[in-house]
Amino acid sequence: MKTLEFLIQRLAKAAFVVLGVVILNFLLIQLAPGDPAAVLAGEAGAGDEQFIAQLRAQFGLDQPLYVQLLSYLQNVLSGDLGYSYRNQVPVADLIMERLPATLLLTGSAFLFSLVLGIVLGVLAAYKRGSLGDSLIMTGALIFYATPLFWVALMAVLVFSIHLDWLPPFDMESIGAGYTGWARVMDIAHHLVLPTVTLGLFFTAVYTRLTRASMLEVMNLDFVKTARAKGVPKGRIIRRHVLRNAILPVFTFASVQAGQLVGGAVLTETVFAWPGIGRLMFDALMQRDYPVLLGVFLVTAAVVVLVNLVADLLYRFVDPRIETAG
């Protein structure tokens, strides 16, 4: 019952958060320089004032700001995210076409970074002060400080061009016509480089956080008591230390979900991955504001959902947490 009440409260709060994000994004987009109608008119080769005014009226850009905002909110609440200026298709169709690719990439990068980061952090804490600990923490520091775009370009240069191990671009082989399991393996093959590139920074963060949390818990009284009773060190790590040390990692990981989508913009651009990150970049360059607003809305909803799921999982990781609060 407490869990149900907690879920209802969080869903209500999530709705207000998403609504606030929608309004804020709309107002920020209006502050951006440039006029979409003028850009479209210039590309059409008809930049006279009459044609620009016609385009502004067609897309509702000639209305007062509050009228545009109210109209947009009404459309969003009814499930209409608007119409793309550039592609001349509904924004919802564009996003739904690209969203699975982004969820696949960000989900893979999230699992890769979380699992590898926790494993490396546990090993570093278990072997504290050893050569292995120093190597792990040095590697984590290097990948934490290295720009994502440089890692992406070097990964393409080394593993695709020089070694020819992995494909450098796109989500699957163009014109190959794979079906079934062969297509799954082809997509997985293309997924390796962008997943590792996007996940390395977060792996470094989770490694450092896991190690610090593990060392903190290992100095608590109940762990010292277990040692005094002769409980094997490996069992103490698995059953007592890790379970208590993992909560800060889960908390931070849920917050980092939004940054994964932000990092996906650059990763998808470098690797030509057909996701909403690349769609967002193209829309920004083309001043296709309805598409930008739609991507921002979907991104905010995904982040809020991930945080809600993380909150629900806390009670399974540590039953002492009261979800009703």
Q: Given this model, what pLDDT does residue 316 score?
A: 66
* Residue at 87: amino acid letter: N
Residues 29 and 101 in one domain: no
Longest pairwise C-alpha distance within the chain:
86
Range of the domain at 302: 92-317
Closest of 31, 18, 46, 35 to residue 294, by C-alpha: 18
Q: Tell me what the pLDDT averaged over the chain comes to.
A: 80
Cβ–Cβ < 8 Å for 26, 309: no
CATH number at residue 146: 1.10.3720.10
Same domain, 309 and 166: yes
Q: Quick check: 134 pLDDT over 50? A: yes
d(CA 259, CA 263): 6
At 263-278, the pLDDT tens digits run 677 788 888 888 888 8
d(CA 30, CA 49): 20
Assigned token pair, 191: 């997924």
Predicted local distance difference test score (pLDDT) of residue 116: 92
> Above 80 in pLDDT, residue 26?
yes
Q: What is the pLDDT of residue 7?
A: 76
- Check whether residue 158 and residue 195 sit in a common domain: yes
pLDDT, position 25: 84
Task: Name the pLDDT band for 323 (thresholds 50, 70, 90).
Answer: very low
Would you call 83 helix, strand, or coil by DSSP? strand
What percent of the chain stands above pLDDT 70?
A: 85
Same domain for 303 and 173? yes
Per-residue pLDDT, 59: 67
Q: How many domains does the chain have?
A: 2
**Is 114 domain-assigned?**
yes
pLDDT of residue 215 exceeding 80, the answer is yes
Question: Which of 38 and 83 is assigned the larger pLDDT?
Answer: 83
Q: What average pLDDT does this structure show over 297-306? A: 82
- 102-130 pLDDT per residue, tens: 888 888 888 898 899 988 988 888 888 88
pLDDT on residue 35: 66
Among 303, 313, 256, 262, CA closest to 17: 303
62, 107: one domain: no
Q: Is the same domain home to 64 and 117?
A: no
**Are 107 and 64 found together in one domain?**
no
Q: Residue 99: pLDDT above 60?
A: yes
pLDDT at 141 over 60: yes
Name the phi and psi angles at 80, rounded to 5: -100, 115
Higher-confidence residue of 187 and 254: namely 187
Higher-pLDDT residue of 151, 45:
151
* Mean pLDDT, rounded, for 310-321: 66
Q: What is the mean pLDDT of residues 209-227?
A: 81
Nearest-5° angle of CA 62, CA 68, CA 74? 145
Q: Looking at the structure, do residues 63 and 136 belong to the same domain, yes or no?
A: no
pTM of the full predicted structure? 0.78
Q: pLDDT value at position 37?
A: 67
Same domain for 132 and 44?
no
Q: Could you read off the pLDDT of 147-190 as tens digits, one per residue?
A: 878 888 888 888 888 888 888 888 877 777 777 888 888 888 88
Question: What pLDDT is stored for residue 46 in this prediction?
Answer: 60
Residues 120 and 41 grouped into a single domain = no
> Can you tell me the mean pLDDT for 211-224?
81
Q: Which of 45, 77, 109 is the last residue of a domain?
A: 77
Q: Are residues 264 and 307 in the same domain?
A: yes
Q: Please tell me whether residues 58 and 165 are part of one structural domain.
A: no
**Is residue 325 assigned to a domain?**
no
